[in-house]
Amino acid sequence: MKFGWLKRREVIALLGGLTAAGWPTLVRPQQRAKLPTIGFLGPTTADLPVWRQGVIVFAQRLRELGWIEERTVAIEYRWSDGHSERFPEMAAEFVRLKVDIIVTGGVAVPAAKRATSVIPIVFAVDNDPVGTGLVASLARPGGNVTGLSVQSPDLVGKRLELLREALPALHRLAIMGNVDYAATVQDIQGVQAAGRITWS
């Protein structure tokens, strides 16, 4: 008769050996190895549909790659709830927790970069990571920061041209943006520069 993967006599010998060695050692809880930990720094709130869906897709893709939350990987979520002044504090907390990687995006990336030059930082998307100083170049980012770029500054002039075609009577344009976010400042400067162009 077999007991799991052991034969019956092996089980008896194992139990006998445990008894001889002292039964209390069997019931002592084993130290659980620390799971690799991802620090997820949300630049807004978890309730925002785009980020809620993003977290679902993020966890799903991790599972597809064999990383299952609380089994093979731990994820520490932090959300700024729209308060960008909290980013440095949350990034510093990840450093204290010794997370293995920080995943973030948008205005939170510079704060994460200032907090550590050792922990890898992956950003979901940035308008111009080279122009904002997050990476040295797209081909060779260098340092500990990498991610996806939409190269938004290259598109500013084109967007204005399309807007002018759609609204030929347009003479004034107002722009709203977060001036604490370097990419937004770049976009505004690009719009101002392109806005000086006169269309025939």
Which residue segment(s) compose the domain that 176 sits in? Answer: 154-195
Is there a domain that residue 99 lies in? yes
Question: Taking the CB of residue 128, how many other CB atoms lie within 10 A of it?
Answer: 21
pLDDT tens, residue by residue, 7-34:
545 544 444 444 444 444 445 555 567 8
The structure's pTM equals 0.65
Query: Using CA atoms, how far apart are residues 116 and 93, in angstroms rounded to an integer?
Result: 11
Can you state the angle between helices 182-195 and 156-166, rounded to 10 degrees? 50
Most confident of 48-52, 66-70, 195-199: 66-70
pLDDT band at 200 (very low <50, low <70, confident <90, very high): very low
Only one residue has tokens 């308060």, namely: 83
| Strand 2-3 versus strand 6-7 pairing type | antiparallel
- How many residues does the structure list for the chain? 200
Residue 71 and residue 137 in one domain: yes
Residue 106 and residue 174 in one domain: no
Collapsing DSSP to helix, strand or coil, 29 comes out as coil
Query: Using CA atoms, how far apart are residues 182 and 109, in angstroms rounded to an integer?
Result: 11
pLDDT tens, residue by residue, 95-152:
999 999 999 987 889 999 999 999 999 998 777 788 778 888 878 888 999 988 776 6
Instruction: Please state the rounded mean pLDDT for residues 82-93.
Output: 93
Collapsing DSSP to helix, strand or coil, 146 comes out as strand
Structural domain tally of the chain?
2
Is there a domain that residue 177 lies in? yes
Residue 141 and residue 188 in one domain: no
Residue 116 and residue 161 in one domain: no
Beta bridge partners of 38: 75, 101
**Positive or negative: CA dihedral 67, 68, 71, 74:** positive
Q: Is the pLDDT of residue 6 over 50?
A: no
Q: Is the pLDDT of residue 187 over 60?
A: yes
Residue 117 and residue 189 in one domain: no
pLDDT band at 163 (very low <50, low <70, confident <90, very high): confident
Tell me the C-alpha to C-alpha distance, in Å, between residue 82 and each of 43, 44, 46, 79, 124: 7, 5, 10, 8, 17
Is there a domain that residue 186 lies in? yes
pLDDT of the residue at 26: 46
Per the model's pLDDT, the better-predicted residue between 66 and 182 turns out to be: 66
**Residues above pLDDT 90, as percent of the chain:** 36
Q: Is the pLDDT of residue 46 over 90?
A: no
Residues 6+ away with beta carbon under 8 Å from 135: 129, 141, 142, 143, 145, 146
Residues 6+ away with beta carbon under 8 Å from 191: 156, 160, 173, 175
Nearest CA-CA partner of 112 in 139, 136, 86: 86
Is there a domain that residue 67 lies in? yes
Residue 131 and residue 165 in one domain: no
Residue 42 and residue 80 in one domain: yes
pLDDT of the residue at 183: 67
Query: Using CA atoms, how far apart are residues 68 and 46, in angstroms rounded to an integer?
Result: 20
Is there a domain that residue 24 lies in? no
Q: Is the pLDDT of residue 74 over 50?
A: yes
